[in-house]
Each structure stands twice: as C-alpha cells, then as structure tokens.
C-alpha cells in the first residue's frame, strides 16, 4: 500500500537537502535558431534575436551515485522519460540503473531549443534535445574526470569512464564520490561528443524508466495530486460555446454534503467541495440560467453545407504553379472529388484537471501540461504576479495528443480563477462529459479537388480548395504561422505535397472559416486531414489510370528517396501484390510529417457493411531511431489513435450543443477492433524527424484505399462509420 502523495513545503525542503553535496549541472549552450513550428520558414522580429538561454539545469549527481535527469519536456506516453536520459547516459557513461527522472520546473532554462517556449509538441522533443542533452552528459563527464584527475594526481587524459565510474588503471572512483569535488570545478566551455560508432545506448531498444510505477499504480498524474486543504471543484460551463451565466441558484447545491462553496468564475459556476463526488452532486443540483450567446444555432450539417458553398470558389492562395485553369479546361480526363472530415476531441484517458494553491506573491500549480510557458504566463496575469512567481509542477500526463498544449491555457486559467475566487487551494476536475463537450477540437474540414489527367494517367493540373477553421488564429503563434491569411497548418501536407512537385500546374487555396467552436492541434495537426485527402486522391488517380497504387506512387515520388524508402519497405514487408485470404484487400498510403516519412499497408475486409482491419504494416524513416522500441510503440499508438478516428470518432453540433458526451457516443478504438501491427524501421542516417505523430496521417487513407480495393466504394468522408452498410 502506498502513502498518498503529500506535497508540502517540508517535503520540498527535504527533497532539496538530499542533493546538497551533490553535483548540479548548470550550463549554457548556444540556442538553435528560433522558429516556432516546423514549416515556419522565416524568423520574425517578435521572437527576438537568437541568444544564449539562461543557465540550464539538466542533471544532478547525488553522493549516493544516483543521477537525476531533469526533463525540459513532459512525459505523456511518448517515452521521453526514457529517451532524454538515454542521451545523457550515453555521453556520461552512466550506470543506467542509477538514473532517476524528474519533470523540470517551468523556467526559461527549459525553453524549447527551436520553438522558444517550454512546450512538448510537434513531435520535436528528441531531435530538438539531441544535442543539448548529449552535451549535458558530456560536460558532466568532463567535470567528473577533472575531479578524479585532481584527486589522483594524474592527467585527465589518462582517465576513462565506464558505467558510473572514473577509472585509472586499477583504481575506480564512483561518480557519487566525485560529485562534490566536480561541483567546485569551472564549467568547461566546450565539449566533444562521442563518435556515433562508439554509441552503446543510443540506438538500442531500451525499456521505459517509468514502467514500474505505471504498472504498480504509484505513478502520480495531475489527477492524483493531494495535500491537506486541497478542495475539489467542478465548473458548470455554458452548454454552448460563448454563452454566459445570466443567473444561478445554488441553494440546493449548498445542501449537498461536502459542498463548501459555490463561486462564479469567468467560465461559469464552480462548485467547491471536499471531494469529486460531492462536487459532482453539487453541480447536478445547481440551477443556472444561461445566455447561450451567438452560437446557439450551430449545426454541423449546416456548417458543412456552408463549407461546400465556399469550396465552389478558390480561397486564398497557399501554393501555385503554372496555369492549372487552362490545363484543366483542355484535359482529356478530369477527376473531381470532395472530401470531408469532422471535428474530433482528443479525449485523453485522464480527464483535464489542475491543482492550484495561491499565497501572497506566489502561486503553485500542479498539472499535466504540454505548454508550461503559456500556462505560467496566464496564471501570472490573472493573479497580478510575475511569471517567475508562479511555480508549475508538471506531473505525468494521462495522455496529451495536443489537448494539454493550449495557447489559451484554458484548464489552467480556469483552475486559477476558481482558487482565487474560493480563497482555498483547489483542484478543478473535468468529468468525461466536460472533456468531450469542452472544446478545443481538431477542426472540421472540407476539400474540393479537380485534377486533370494526362495521356499517361498522371496529373497534369491539380486544383484544390480547403475549407476549415484556423488553429493558429488568435494564438501567440499567429504571427509566425499565418502568412497572407493562410494558416500553414491548414494546408500542410497539401501545399508542400511531394506529388504537387511533379505537376507543372497546380493551385492550392484555403478558405478560413470563423465559428465559435474552439479548435486546437490534434495529434498530427493539419496532416490529420491532409494525408487522408491527398493519399485518397492519388489512389483515385491510380485506379482511374488502371495502375497499381504502389507503382503509381513510386512513379510520382521518384525524386523523394525517403518517401520511397518507407513506401518500399512497407510494401515489401506486407508482401504487396501477393494473394491474400479471400475477402481481404490491401490499401497503401505514404506521408511525410514532422520530418519523418511513414508508409502503411492496411489489410481490410468488408463483410455486410462491417469493416474489419486485420493487419497494419508500417514503415518509417525518421533518421536515427534513438530508442527503436519506443519508436515502434509510437507507431502502434498512432495507428490505434488514427484508426479510431477513421472508423468511428466525430464531434457534431446541433442547436449549438455538442451531441456526444462520453465514450458510449464518442467512439474510440477498443481492443476488439485493434488489428495486428507490424513496424519496420528504415535504417537511415538522414536528418532526424519526430515519431509521436507521423504514424497517424497514413492510417485513414491506407484503410479507405483498402476498402476501395475490396468494394469499389471510395470513402470520401470520415468517419467511415456505417457508410458501407
């Protein structure tokens, strides 16, 4: 049995005292050129000049030989808790069994080396930290060697390191024994990193360091935070986005045993109680009259019609070459198609929550967040504090998928507002219904494409109109990501498609629609819709030209070796072209996102309208695979996440309200629907890409292309649902 987590001042002091006498590594390295997200090509003045970050603290060595690695990024399942320590351990020659891991605090020291804020997203952690964490390890090793050289009176050059020891002939001194002396040495100005051929840790499948605590129930998520005096709050929010409280009656709520307070906050009415059950019952007893505001008429079907009418005309140009209009007018054959994708909720398993304690000139926040900087700033603004007066404790995230990286800091701001209004420490907890209906969805999109085909069956002209909401509009990223009215994330995977590069005439445009529905990046962001559309269209073209979909892609991707490497490996492992059991068909798709190239082959059968995905074969070229097993896990994960969305998930609106509420009607992947998954890694020395998201984009088109092969029916709207029934 485990004791409850009791986060008190005393615990913190004790924790700090443990490392007194040890070595805390603080150092600076030049920061990479800043850009905000992949795809944002140019640096703008707003980000400031590239400059040295404040001294960073990435690891400390205790006199007990433990090596504690501080993570600048958040662990949300992607295994960064293991991958970043691997980078340090490699260069430090550390004893892996002595590695401990902690989330770092919110601090300028931990700004993303490329994005300039503290954020976990964009499938960027490993490549963006590859140098910084290795350097931290190498620098620490150099200090330890320096301390040993002094102690033994031998030249540093005569010493070597291995498995947590500095070694001189037969003499071994443990890192813990050297830590105090090493801490007094001057920090080296430069370090040399190992030659990749000498790597022992990087590239080796390594088990998760957070495995044991997640298996025995002791891992602490935001939801598990507890300390004396912490109340639980639930907020009654407007049933329609943008609505507000007209009046409320809390008399029945206050009768509920355990309810302590009812307070109004900007987002609604908060019921503050001794525990979740009391807060929930209290909220159910609450009577609120809402002014539903301007969005009370929201209706998904009407919105789709509106999108459709907009798509009849070109939008703002995102990419253009040649004269597509003239070429289309004289093309032998035209392919015209409309594709549509719904709003999607992230619905991580851990419902949103945030604990806040406000004191004079200070605020402490405990939560699972992907975006500490904006959360810290938002809390500081609400409380009239400086950001550094707000301490953020990042706990394990019970899934993120983008939902816990909100530029609007919605769940953190609301918790701060509740704690401020109630005057007591508060943990706000969202119910599943709150999560499903609380917004920040993957936007709905509609695409209209018109493609002119040449005599060989290849596209000669390509016109595509995309309609949807902008994710970046109104966020701090707007200045970087929206150029000439075009949000790069709305058209990523289209405007920069490798297929278009083979076509002499194309015109890609965008209508950005404004609705009252809050939207946000959802695992793989714009690629979550663009890959489905592009890979379906290519499949349509291949079938129209009576060519094998694999060969057709190979022909178009001639100048794109990384696409081809993934495509060929997936096809080979799936034995593309070989007969399958009766009733089973294959579909293929390949897509680049976040610097990685992923191809997938789906094996699918359709029986009386029911789609069954039997097997997914996946190949990825992400450059160096630091931890091949966690890379495989991320592919499995993306396939599951993508399949659930492709098959069943959708958020719809009627009379302003979200029509889904929980996992009985917001349908996600379950064990019985999960196919066999095989992951193959392209041995690659190309530039490193990400792995958290790139496995998702090809999933839906691989499956729907297989459905076409099986049935002749082209799925042009997601989710697949019962379209084949």
* Residues at the interface with other proteins (CB under 8 A): 1-5, 75-79, 207-208, 210-221, 223-224, 226, 232, 257, 274-277, 280, 347-351, 396-401, 429, 431-433, 629, 633, 636-641, 662-664, 668-672, 674, 676-677
Collapsed DSSP state (helix, strand, coil) of residue 147 = helix
Answer yes or no: are the C-beta atoms of 61 and 180 closer than 8 Å. no
CB closer to other proteins, 222 vs 689:
222
Cis peptide before 719 (omega within 30 of 0): yes
Minimum separation from the CB atom of position 200 to other proteins (A): 20
CB-nearer residue toward other proteins: 292 or 658? 658
User: What residue has token string 């976990």?
Assistant: 120
**Min dist. Cβ of residue 116 to other proteins (A):** 26
How, if at all, do strands 657-658 and 259-265 pair? unpaired
Shorter beta-carbon distance to other proteins: residue 280 or 391:
280
Burial 146-176 (b: 16+ CB within 10 A, else e): bbbbeebeeeeeebebebbbbbbeeeebbbb
CB of 272 to other proteins, least distance (A): 14
For other proteins, the closer CB: 254 or 432: 432
Shortest distance (Å) from residue 50 CB to other proteins = 34
Sort residue 289 into left (φ over 0), alpha (ψ -120 to 50) or beta: beta
Q: Which is nearer to other proteins, 39 or 77 (CB)?
A: 77
Specify which residues 630 forms β-bridges with.
Answer: none
Strand 390-394's sheet: what is its strand order?
259-265, 268-273, 231-237, 426-429, 353-359, 362-367, 390-394
Please state, in angstroms and rounded to a whole number, the distance separating the CA atoms of residues 497 and 591. 9
Give the E-state strand segments of 129-200 in sequence order.
160-162, 165-168, 171-174
CA end-to-end span of the chain, whole Å?
Answer: 51
Contact 653, 441 (CB under 8 A): no
Closest approach, Cβ 335 to other proteins, in A, equals 34
Q: How far is CA 244 from CA 237, 248, 296, 608, 613, in A?
A: 8, 11, 12, 47, 44
Tell me the closest approach of the beta carbon of residue 429 to other proteins, in angstroms.
8
- Residue with Cβ nearer other proteins (481 or 619): 619
Nearer to other proteins, 125 or 505 (CB): 125
Residue 529 parent element (H or E): helix 527-544
Tokens of 360: 């004079």
- In the complex, the smallest distance separating the C-beta of residue 710 from other proteins, rounded to whole angstroms, is 22
Containing 678, the helix (H) or strand (E) segment is strand 676-681
Nearest approach in angstroms of CB 532 to other proteins is 18
Q: How far apart are CA 241 and CA 442, in angstroms?
A: 15
- The residue (of 3 and 190) whose beta carbon lies closer to other proteins is 3
CA–CA gap between residue 296 and residue 653 (Å, rounded): 10
144 versus 286: smaller Cβ distance to other proteins: 286
Helices 628-647 and 699-711: crossing angle, nearest 10°? 50
Contact 194, 371 (CB under 8 A): no
Contact 262, 282 (CB under 8 A): yes
Q: How far is Cα 490 from Cα 477, in angstroms, rounded to an integer?
A: 14
For the CB of residue 670, give the shortest distance to other proteins in the complex, in Å: 5
Q: Which is nearer to other proteins, 494 or 681 (CB)?
A: 681
Nearest-approach distance from CB 346 to other proteins, in angstroms: 8
**φ, ψ at 601 (rounded to 5°):** -120, 125
Which CB atom, from 400 or from 595, has the smaller least distance to other proteins? 400
Using DSSP's 3-state secondary structure scheme, residue 373 falls into helix
Nearer of residues 399 and 656 to other proteins, judged by Cβ: 399
Inter-axis angle of helices 175-183 and 125-152, nearest 10: 90
Identify which of residues 12 and 277 has a Cβ nearer to other proteins in the complex.
Answer: 277
CB nearer to other proteins: pick between 413 and 630: 630
Give the Cα separation of 316 and 638 in Å (integer).
32
DSSP 117-144: S----TT-HHHHHHHHHHHHHHHHHHHH
In the block, residue with structure tokens 């064990």: 671
342 or 368: CB nearest other proteins:
368
């Amino acid at each position: 049995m485990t004791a409850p987590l009791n986060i008190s001042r005393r615990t913190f002091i004790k924790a700090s005292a443990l490392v007194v006498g040890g070595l805390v590594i603080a150092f600076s390295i030049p920061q990479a050129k800043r850009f905000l997200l992949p795809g944002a090509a140019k640096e703008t003045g707003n980000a400031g000049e590239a400059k040295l970050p404040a001294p960073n603290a990435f690891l400390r060595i205790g006199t007990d030989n433990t090596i504690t690695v501080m993570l600048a990024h958040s662990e949300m399942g992607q295994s960064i808790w293991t991958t970043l320590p691997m980078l340090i351990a490699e260069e430090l020659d550390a004893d892996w069994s002595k590695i401990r891991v902690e989330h770092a605090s919110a601090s300028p020291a931990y700004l993303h080396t490329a994005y300039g804020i503290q954020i976990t997203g964009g499938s960027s952690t490993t490549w963006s930290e590859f140098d910084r964490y290795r350097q931290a390890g190498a620098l620490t090793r150099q200090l330890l060697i320096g301390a040993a050289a002094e102690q033994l009176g031998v030249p540093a050059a005569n010493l070597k390191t291995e498995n947590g020891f500095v070694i001189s002939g037969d003499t071994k001194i443990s890192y813990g024994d050297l830590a105090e002396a090493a801490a007094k040495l001057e920090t080296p100005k430069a370090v040399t990193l190992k030659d990749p051929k000498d790597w022992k840790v990087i590239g080796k499948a390594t088990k998760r360091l957070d495995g044991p605590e997640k298996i025995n129930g002791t891992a602490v998520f935001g939801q598990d935070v507890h300390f004396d005096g912490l109340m639980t709050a639930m907020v009654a929010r407007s049933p329609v986005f943008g609505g507000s409280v007209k009046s409320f009656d809390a008399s029945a709520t206050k009768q509920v045993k355990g309810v302590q307070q009812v307070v109004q906050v900007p987002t609604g009415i908060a019921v503050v109680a001794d525990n979740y059950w009391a807060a929930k019952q209290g909220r159910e007893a609450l009577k609120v009259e809402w002014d539903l505001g301007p969005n009370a008429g929201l209706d998904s079907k009407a919105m789709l019609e509106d999108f459709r009418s907009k798509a009849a005309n070109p939008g703002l140009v995102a990419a253009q070459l040649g004269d597509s209009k003239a070429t289309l007018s004289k093309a032998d054959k035209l392919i015209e198609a409309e594709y549509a994708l719904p709003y999607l909720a992230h619905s991580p398993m851990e419902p949103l929550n945030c604990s806040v304690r406000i004191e004079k000139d200070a605020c402490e926040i405990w939560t699972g967040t992907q975006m500490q900087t904006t959360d810290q700033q938002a809390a500081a603004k609400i409380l009239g504090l400086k950001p550094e007066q707000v301490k953020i404790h990042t706990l394990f995230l019970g899934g993120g998928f983008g939902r816990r990286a909100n530029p609007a800091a919605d769940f953190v701001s609301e918790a701060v507002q509740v704690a401020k209004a109630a005057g007591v420490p508060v943990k706000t907890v969202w119910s599943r219904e709150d999560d499903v209906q609380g917004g920040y969805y993957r936007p709905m999109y509609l695409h209209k494409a018109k493609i002119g085909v040449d005599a060989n069956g290849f596209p000669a002209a390509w016109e595509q109109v995309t309609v949807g909401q902008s994710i970046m509009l109104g966020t701090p990223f707007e200045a970087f990501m929206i150029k000439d009215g075009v949000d790069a994330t709305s058209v990523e995977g289209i405007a920069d498609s490798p297929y278009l590069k083979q076509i002499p005439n194309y015109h890609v445009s965008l209508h950005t629609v404004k609705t009252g529905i809050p939207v946000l990046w959802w695992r793989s962001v714009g690629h979550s819709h663009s890959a489905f559309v592009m890979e379906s269209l290519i499949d349509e073209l291949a079938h129209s030209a009576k060519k094998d979909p694999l060969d057709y892609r190979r022909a178009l991707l001639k100048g794109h070796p990384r696409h081809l490497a993934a495509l060929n490996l997936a096809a080979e492992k799936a034995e593309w072209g070989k007969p399958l059991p009766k009733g089973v068909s294959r579909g293929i798709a390949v897509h680049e996102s976040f610097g990685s190239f992923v191809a997938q082959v789906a094996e699918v059968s359709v029986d009386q309208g029911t789609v069954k995905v039997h097997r997914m074969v996946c190949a990825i070229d992400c450059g160096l695979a630091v931890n091949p097993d966690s890379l495989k896990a991320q592919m499995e994960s993306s396939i599951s996440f993508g399949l659930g969305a492709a098959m069943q998930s959708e958020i719809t609106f009627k009379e302003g309200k979200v029509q889904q509420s929980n996992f009985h009607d917001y349908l996600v992947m379950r064990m019985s629907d999960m196919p066999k998954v095989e992951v193959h890694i392209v041995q690659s020395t190309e530039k490193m890409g990400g792995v958290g998201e790139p496995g998702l984009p090809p999933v839906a088109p691989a499956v729907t292309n297989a459905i076409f092969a099986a049935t002749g029916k082209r799925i042009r709207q997601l989710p697949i649902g019962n379209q084949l029934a």
